[in-house]
Amino acid sequence: MSAGVTTLAQAVAADMNADAHDAEGYAVLRQAWEWLTSAASWRGDSGIAMRVAEHLGYTALATGIAVVLGVGLGMVVGHTGRGRGAVLGASGVLRAMPTLGLLTFLALIIPAGVTAALIPATIVLVILAVPPVLAATAAGFAAVDRATVDAARAVGFSTRQVVTSVELPLALPVLIGGVRSAWLQVLATATVAAYLGLGGIGRYLLDSLAVRDYGVMLGAALIVAVLSLLTDAIFALAQRLVTPRGVARGAAAETQRGSEQ
């Protein structure tokens, strides 16, 4: 009898704990919604609008630098075919580097200050963004039909004209795919900039964690997710627009043949 009562009491306690956990979860969701929909949350230097602008600024800066570095090197590697293994191997090493550990190391060796804090944060984000851009550019150039390149040379195209007028347009969809991947990775990781006293959405995550304001933390995470979805859709549209019609039709036909087999 006592064992049955004990078991029943344990079951009731478990149900009460589950109900309390659910209630806490709903409370966090409600707090996040109230924070996101409050006009006061969007105003001021620490408002959501300003933090989003800062976050996108960090992302654009790092991705822009990565595009300059990755596309330039990727074009050389993809066009000539030289050093492909070494370059892609090095980019793989960059992918494996611990972001937060590298950020901490750079912050320690670079003088303190808000301006100086932007330097290690940008370096870390650039290191994260270069590999997908580099790999996509090299792959896109390498995938260009050699017969097309030879035909361009046969009609008198210089090496520069072959690269800019033939290879680059054909490789552009793959290249934009690499930039798309880099942007999304940087956008999600740029929250670490807050660890060095910078702004962005990471500011909400760090400050709210200190005071256990989980509603704001959830709201900030949702903002990053929405930004990722919106910008991903923009890049997907850009990829589609720059894909030559012949290539798009060929890819569609190949997909259809594969589905029929």
Amino acid symbol at 38: S
Q: pTM of this prediction? A: 0.81
Domain 46-244, CATH: 1.10.3720.10
pLDDT level of residue 247 (50, 70, 90 thresholds) = low
Best-predicted range by mean pLDDT (160-164, 171-175, 249-253): 171-175
Residue that has been written with the tokens 């995550």 in this structure: 205
Tokens of 43: 């105003």
The DSSP element (H or E) to which 57 belongs, if any, is helix 48-80
As a whole-number percent, the residues of the chain with pLDDT over 70 amount to 82
Alpha-carbon span 202 to 220, nearest angstrom = 8
Domain boundaries, the chain: 46-244
Tell me what pLDDT residue 221 has: 94
Tell me what pLDDT residue 7 has: 46
pLDDT level of residue 112 (50, 70, 90 thresholds) = low
- pLDDT tens digits along 114-136: 556 888 899 999 999 999 999 99
Do the beta carbons of residue 141 and residue 84 sit within 8 Å? no
The mean-pLDDT minimum among 1-5, 44-48, 58-62, 143-147 falls in 1-5
- pLDDT tens digits along 222-233: 999 999 999 999
**Which residue has better confidence, 93 or 228?**
228
Residue 2 has pLDDT above 60, yes or no: no
The arithmetic mean of pLDDT across residues 136-141, rounded, is: 92
The arithmetic mean of pLDDT across residues 67-79, rounded, is: 91
Tell me what pLDDT residue 164 has: 85
Tell me what pLDDT residue 53 has: 96
The arithmetic mean of pLDDT across residues 16-24, rounded, is: 54
The DSSP code for 164 is I
Alpha-carbon span 46 to 52, nearest angstrom = 10
The arithmetic mean of pLDDT across residues 240-244, rounded, is: 88
Residue 63 has pLDDT above 90, yes or no: yes
The mean-pLDDT minimum among 45-59, 107-121, 214-228, 244-258 falls in 244-258
Residue 35 has pLDDT above 80, yes or no: yes
Residue 252 has pLDDT above 70, yes or no: no
Q: Which among 222, 211, 200 is positioned nearest to 33, based on CA atoms?
A: 222
Alpha-carbon span 92 to 95, nearest angstrom = 5
